[in-house]
Amino acid sequence: MHAPRHPLPLRGPLQPRALRRGQHWRSPQDAYFAARAWVPWLLAGAVLLGAIGLGGGLLHAQQAVHAGSAYRIIYVHVPATWVALFLFALFAGWSVIGLLSSSRLAPLMTEALAPTGALFALLALWTGSLWGKPVSGLWWEWDARRIADLALLSAFVAAVIVREVVDDTRHADHLTAVLALVGTMVVAAALSSVALLPQVNGRHNAQFAGPAGGGTRLMTALAATTVSFALYASAAALMRLRCVILERERAAEWVDTQRVRR
């Protein structure tokens, strides 16, 4: 006899009470359906806030004393850097959880976060070069922020490469987690040098000081773009998480159940 087919674990566009309690993020199966509910809202918020932040930065920002109109570049560069750091914190956090516990979700999360983190680290590096050329005449400067961006990009790209090269998924999970911890130390050292060696990074800080009198508008546009990038990054990571879950759990009964129910 066949076992009775189980109903879907999460139906409908949203089940807010269950999502608030967080009980749908405990297993890959639950996370798959919970992520499905979150992605449209995250993308909608990202588009709305992105239009506000980027539009405000591009059209209404005042010119800075040091950088002129090139100052508008920071409305993309700074949020991209912050979101890359935010994603790396999540990446490292899930790596630690994966190392210390037997969570099935943790390695999937790290696998889902790495490519999006690499994208934002690349964006931070690229826009940093676009900032440096008109302001200082150089595409690249060896200051702490650029090194931190480079370390972030290297760690994320290395994590993606490890996933592609190592066939054993458990081995790849452990390697990625160790990589995340090493990357954390490098990024932390680079960022702390910004505070510890202000004479080295002083010129960069002065250039980022911004236009006089534009504080409120500047911070509003920066905050809107940062939240927009963060919402987009969360949506992209959840979309990739759903793909990774299906790829890894393709032998699970719940995946087969969905295939039959059509």
Task: Enumerate binding residues for another protein (CB under 8 A).
Answer: 1-2, 5, 43, 50, 54, 58, 68-70, 72-73, 76-77, 80, 115-116, 119, 122-123, 126-127, 130-131, 133-134, 229, 232, 236, 239-240, 242-243, 246-247, 250-253, 255-256, 258-262
Q: What is the DSSP string of 11-52?
A: -SS--HHHHHHTGGGSSHHHHHHHHHHHHHHHHHHHHHHHHH
Q: Please, what is the minimum distance in Å from the beta carbon of residue 52 to another protein? A: 14
**Could you give the CA distance from residue 67 to residue 211 in angstroms, rounded to a whole number?**
9
Q: Please, what is the minimum distance in Å from the beta carbon of residue 77 to another protein? A: 7
Closest CB to another protein among 50 and 98? 50
Q: Extract the tokens encoding 242.
A: 């759903």
Tokens 């480079």, located at residue: 150
Closest CB to another protein among 115 and 193? 115
Q: Please, what is the minimum distance in Å from the beta carbon of residue 26 to another protein? A: 21
Q: SS3 breakdown of the chain: % helix, strand, coil, rounded to 5?
A: 80, 0, 20
Q: Is the backbone of residue 8 left (phi > 0), alpha (psi -120 to 50) or beta?
A: beta
- Specify which residues 68 forms β-bridges with: 64
Closest CB to another protein among 177 and 249? 249
Q: Please, what is the minimum distance in Å from the beta carbon of residue 250 to another protein? A: 6
Closest CB to another protein among 179 and 241? 241
**Sign of the CA dihedral 118, 123, 129, 131?**
negative
Closest CB to another protein among 59 and 195? 59
Q: Please, what is the minimum distance in Å from the beta carbon of residue 108 to another protein? A: 14
